[in-house]
């Protein structure tokens, strides 16, 4: 036998018969500069909402910043760093440094919260017969927070971008008295008119992924599986958006069934459009409506909510901010946007110098160094913020037509009679990004700034250009596309882009030589030219007017540049293809419905196609 030595003997402490994972684990947090609490806050109907609360340690009397989200409240805490500013996501860091209690809550039915989820649940009323909505849930949450978070000072601000901006807007319909200030950032306000689902009736079909991501499961769902790397091929091969959706099981989604039954702007959309509801329930809460100038997702919401409130006489407590940003960029770095570089970090500067001091004023009573103007809009050409005390609500502003001219010219002079034609073929739609087009990624964020030379020479894209500008042309406001056109089809879409054409070479920034930078663009579905609620077939070969507002700008076309207007009939696969034959519901167009159409843009004399410009000074050129 081998003699036993002390080192070869098995002792009881060497043996684990249970589990190496303790029943409860606690991280020692003596050195943490905050306390993290996770609570289930009861709503008035007994449903409890999962809420993450990050409380700075110290003297107390902190203001609270509340964000209500369908995107997983727990995910806003990105690490277990002992320092609050390091533990939270990029959008929370400056607020953490400023000593705020940070609160993220899962909305009803998502992630850790109880209850049922409804996509952007309409306010209580005809579309929501229950006794709760995101207005009452925000109210009940704030009520609980001010009563239960002892380190707080009893005052709450709300913030959040996109869907989370929508939850801020919903809270404003009947705010809790402790809600003292709010900033809806790129809020979704009207999903049909110009935010995530449609633009003037054209379906943003790349957002179909969002349906399964959000609604196939309570937590984080998957995107639609792809056959090809290039989404241009994926969507083209699928046929209609409805065919793609149904092939991927969307019939299981109640939201898809409601959504696809209401392609026009009927009561379903009208009754949940927040820019209509907010003025009817206008609050006194100081509110900053904030969005990007190139917001690829919710370009419509903030400015329309602000305009509707201002037009209804609530301009005193509602402010507009438009930064040189993509969607939700305010919560990230802002040194650049696509090809454009700024002299500083525009988002951090804005958060630290404007937004947080403004919140501090209402939540801590600190004096305002300078009062927030009615509107602050970045001027991308001059690379500076402009402040306005009388920024005009669209419709109150004189506009100057910039006409399509013969020989693809563009100018303020009345054009000679004429027209230009192109063949729009649904089998070969105009791409919105150069192919291959991946599923949403970084290119999606900045697609609105893509150099438009990539489509300029297509036969189905018409480009009209001014001579080289001898002096600056300044726009402040919303341009309006006013297109007169004939088509051989009975339906059709119109895409109008207002473009800044850079000089052919730029010694300081060679990449910008000849760049065709879109500064404002949108799409319009022709069947809605007379009524958004009641579509009608286009009479083939008859001139019709297509008039629609483009995104708001504060922009200077500099001397040496040229102004371009590009017009085309598709922007694919971002928007679904118009079959160009009138069918009751384009979502379910059949393969045989898609037909080529010859589209003719009229120059005049009775029907002068133009983009109506919000010029700052009377135009002497082009
Ligand atoms: N733009 C996204 C969205 C908002 C509301 C509904 C659907 C999508 C978002 O970024 O939250």
Cis, bond preceding 436 (omega within 30 deg of 0): yes
Q: Is the pTM of this model over 0.90?
A: yes
DSSP state at residue 381: T
Give which of 54, 63, 37, 34 is closest to 154, Cα–Cα: 63
Cα(188) to ligand 1 centroid in Å equals: 6
**622 has pLDDT over 70:** no
How far away, in angstroms, is 509 Cα from ligand 1 center?
35
Residue nearest (by alpha carbon) to ligand 1 atom 3: 163
In 399-479, DSSP assigns E strands to 400-404, 410-411, 418-424, 462-465, 473-477
The model's pLDDT over 327-342, given as tens digits with 9 standing for 90+, comes to: 999 999 999 999 999 9
Of ligand 1's listed atoms, the one at least distance from the Cα of 195 is 1
Predicted confidence (pLDDT) at residue 441 exceeds the cutoff of 90:
no
Tell how far the Cα of 127 is from the centroid of ligand 1, in angstroms. Answer: 20
- Residue 70 CA: nearest ligand 1 atom is 11
- Asked whether residue 533 carries a pLDDT value surpassing 80, the answer given is yes
Which residue among 165, 195, 220 is best mutated to probe the pocket of ligand 1, counting the most ligand atoms within 8 A of its Cβ? Answer: 195
Whether ipTM exceeds 0.90: yes
- CB-side exposure of 162: number of CA atoms within 13 Å? 14
Question: Of all helices (H) and strands (E), which one includes residue 311?
Answer: helix 301-311
Kindly give the pairing relationship between strand 610-613 and strand 480-487. Answer: antiparallel
Confidence of residue 439 (pLDDT cuts 50, 70, 90): confident
Closest ligand 1 atom number to CA of residue 327: 10
Q: How far is the CA of 105 from the centre of ligand 1 (A)?
A: 17
Cβ-based neighbour number of residue 130 at 10 Å: 11
- Is the CB of residue 503 less than 8 Å from the CB of residue 558? no
- Which tokens hold the place of 480? 């309006």
What is the distance in A from the centroid of ligand 1 to the CA of 366? 34
Nearest atom, ligand 1, residue 164 CA: 11
- Residue 369 pLDDT exceeds 90: no
**Rounded to the nearest whole angstrom, what is the distance from the C-alpha of residue 117 to the centroid of ligand 1?**
15
Kindly indicate the confidence band of residue 600, based on its pLDDT and cuts at 50, 70 and 90: very high
- The SS3 call for residue 265 is coil
Per-residue confidence (pLDDT) for residue 618, from 0 to 100: 55
The mean pLDDT value for 494-517 works out to: 96
What's the mean pLDDT when you consider all of the chain? 96
Question: Of 234, 211, 375, 235, which is closest to residue 309 (Cα–Cα)?
Answer: 375
**Cα–chain-centroid distance for residue 71?**
15
DSSP reduced 3-state for 357 = helix
The pLDDT, as a whole number, for residue 342 is 98
3-7, 120-124, 275-279, range with the lowest pLDDT: 3-7
Bridge-based pairing state of the strands 553-557 and 340-341: unpaired
Query: Which atom of ligand 1 is found nearest the CA of 298?
Result: 1
Q: Taking phi first (over 0 means left), then psi (-120 to 50 degrees means alpha), and beta for anything else, what does residue 170 get?
A: alpha
3-state secondary structure of 96: helix
487 phi, psi to nearest 5 deg = -140, 150
User: Cβ of 68: how many Cβ atoms within 10 Å?
Assistant: 28
Give the whole-number percent of the chain exceeding pLDDT 90.
Answer: 94
34-52 pLDDT, tens per residue?
Answer: 999 999 999 999 999 999 9
pLDDT for the residue 621: 60
Q: Let me know: does 293 contact 303? Beta carbons within 8 Å.
A: no
Neighbours of 220 (CB within 10 A): 13
pLDDT of residue 496: 99
CA-CA-CA-CA torsion for 160, 166, 168, 172, nearest 10 degrees?
A: 160
Return the residue whose CA atom lies nearest to atom 5 of ligand 1.
163
Spatial neighbors of 528 by CB under 8 A, at least 6 apart, are 200, 201, 264, 265, 535
In sign, the C-alpha dihedral spanning 402, 400, 550, 532 is negative
The whole-number average pLDDT for the span 53-79 is 97
Instruction: With a cut of 90, say whether residue 62 has pLDDT above it.
Output: yes
Asked whether the CA dihedral 292, 293, 298, 299 is positive or negative, the reply is positive
Q: Which atom of ligand 1 is nearest to the CA of 166?
A: 5
Q: What is the pLDDT of residue 620?
A: 55
> What local confidence, expressed as pLDDT, does residue 315 receive?
96
Cα of 328 from ligand 1 centre, angstroms: 10
Please state, in angstroms and rounded to a whole number, the distance separating the CA atoms of residues 351 and 330. Answer: 8
Q: pLDDT category, 370, cuts 50, 70, 90?
A: confident
Contact 179, 137 (CB under 8 A): no
Quick check: 601 pLDDT over 60?
yes
pLDDT at 577: 98
Q: Which two tokens stand for residue 487?
A: 């088509």
Cα 49 to Cα 132: distance, rounded to the nearest angstrom: 13
CA of 57 to the centre of ligand 1 (A): 34
pLDDT at 393 over 70: yes
Closest residue by CA, ligand 1 atom 6: 163
Q: Of 164-168, 463-467, 536-540, 618-622, which gets the smallest average pLDDT?
A: 618-622
Structure-token match 């030595």, residue found: 5
- Tell me how far the alpha carbon of residue 91 lies from the centroid of ligand 1, in angstroms: 17
- Dist. CA 151–CA 56, nearest whole Å: 8
Residues 66, 235: Cα–Cα separation, whole Å: 39
- Give me ligand 1 centre to Cα 297, in Å: 7
Q: Best of 297, 299, 444, 445 to mutate for ligand 1, by most ligand atoms within 8 A of CB? A: 297
pLDDT band, very low/low/confident/very high, at 440 (cuts 50, 70, 90): confident
Pair of tokens at residue 466: 């001014």
The string over 3-30, giving b where at least 16 C-beta atoms fall within 10 Å of a residue's C-beta and e elsewhere, is eeeeeeeeeeeeeeeeeeeeeeeeeeee
Q: Whose CA is nearest to atom 10 of ligand 1?
A: 162
What's the average model confidence in pLDDT over 150-164?
Answer: 98
Ligand 1 atom 9: residue of nearest CA: 162
Is residue 619 predicted with pLDDT exceeding 70? Answer: no
Task: Report how far residue 584's alpha carbon sits from residue 540's, in angstroms, rounded to the nearest whole number.
Answer: 17
Residue 596: C-alpha distances to residues 28, 306, 423, 428 (Å): 69, 41, 7, 10
- CA 164 – ligand 1 centroid, Å: 8
Q: Which atom of ligand 1 is nearest to the CA of 207?
A: 8
Q: Any residues with Cβ below 6 Å from ligand 1, and which? A: 120, 162-163, 166, 188, 196, 210, 297-298
Cis, bond preceding 502 (omega within 30 deg of 0): no
Q: Which residue has the higher pLDDT, 302 or 6?
A: 302
CA distances from 382 to 377, 391, 470, 562 (A): 12, 18, 17, 17
């Amino acid at each position: 036998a081998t003699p036993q030595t002390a080192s070869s003997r098995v002792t009881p402490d060497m043996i684990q018969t249970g589990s190496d994972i303790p029943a409860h684990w606690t991280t020692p947090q003596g050195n943490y500069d905050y306390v993290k609490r996770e609570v289930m806050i009861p709503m008035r109907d007994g449903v409890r909402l999962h809420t993450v609360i990050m409380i700075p340690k110290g003297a107390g009397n902190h203001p609270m910043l509340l964000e209500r989200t369908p995107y997983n409240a727990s995910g806003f805490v990105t690490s277990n760093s002992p320092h609050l500013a390091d533990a939270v996501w990029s959008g929370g860091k400056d607020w953490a440094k400023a000593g705020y209690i940070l609160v993220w809550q899962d909305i009803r039915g998502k992630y850790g919260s109880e209850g049922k989820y409804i996509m952007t649940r309409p306010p209580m009323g005809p579309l929501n017969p229950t006794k709760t909505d995101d207005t009452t849930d925000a109210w009940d949450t704030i009520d609980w927070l001010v009563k239960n978070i002892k380190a707080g000072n009893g005052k709450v601000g709300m913030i959040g971008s996109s869907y989370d901006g929508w939850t801020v807007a919903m809270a404003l319909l009947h705010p809790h008295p402790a809600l003292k200030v709010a900033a809806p950032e790129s809020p979704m306000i009207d999903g049909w008119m110009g935010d995530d689902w449609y633009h003037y009736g054209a379906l943003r079909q790349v957002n179909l992924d969002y349906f399964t991501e959000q609604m196939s499961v309570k937590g984080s769902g998957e995107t639609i599986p792809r056959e090809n790397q290039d989404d241009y091929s994926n969507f083209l091969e699928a046929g209609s958006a409805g065919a793609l959706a149904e092939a991927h099981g969307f019939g299981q989604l109640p939201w898809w069934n409601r959504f696809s039954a209401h392609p026009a702007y009927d009561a379903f959309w009208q009754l949940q459009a927040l820019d209509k509801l907010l003025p009817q329930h206008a609050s006194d809460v100081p509110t900053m409506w904030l969005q990007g100038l190139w917001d690829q997702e919710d370009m419509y919401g903030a400015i329309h909510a602000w305009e509707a409130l201002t037009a209804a006489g609530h301009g005193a407590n509602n402010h507009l901010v438009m930064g040189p940003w993509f969607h939700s960029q305010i919560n990230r770095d802002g040194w650049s946007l696509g090809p454009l570089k700024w002299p500083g970090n525009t988002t951090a500067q804005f958060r630290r110098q404007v937004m947080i001091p403004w919140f501090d004023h209402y939540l801590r009573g600190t004096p305002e160094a300078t009062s927030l103007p009615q509107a602050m809009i970045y001027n991308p050409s001059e690379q500076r913020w402009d402040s306005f005390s009388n920024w005009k609500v669209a419709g109150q502003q004189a506009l100057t037509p910039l006409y399509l001219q013969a020989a693809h010219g563009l100018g303020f002079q009345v054009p000679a009679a004429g027209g230009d034609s192109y063949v729009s073929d649904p089998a070969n739609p105009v791409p919105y990004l150069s192919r291959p087009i991946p599923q949403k990624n970084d290119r999606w964020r900045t697609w609105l700034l893509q150099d438009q030379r990539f489509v300029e020479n297509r036969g189905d894209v018409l480009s009209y250009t001014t001579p080289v500008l001898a002096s600056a042309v300044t726009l402040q406001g919303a341009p309006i596309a006013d297109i007169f056109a004939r088509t051989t089809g009975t339906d059709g879409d119109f895409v109008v882009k207002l473009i800044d054409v850079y000089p052919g070479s730029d010694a300081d920034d060679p990449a910008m030589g000849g760049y065709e930078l879109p500064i404002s663009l949108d799409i319009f579905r022709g069947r809605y030219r007379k009524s958004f609620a009641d579509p009608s077939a286009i009479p083939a070969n008859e001139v019709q007017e297509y008039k629609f507002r483009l995104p708001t700008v504060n922009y200077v076309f500099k001397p040496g540049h040229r102004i371009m207007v590009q017009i085309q009939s598709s922007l694919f696969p971002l928007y679904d293809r118009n079959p160009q034959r009138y069918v009751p519901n384009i979502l379910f167009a059949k393969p045989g419905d898609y037909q080529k159409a010859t589209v003719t843009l009229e120059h005049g004399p009775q029907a002068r196609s133009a983009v109506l410009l919000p010029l700052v000074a009377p135009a002497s050129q082009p």
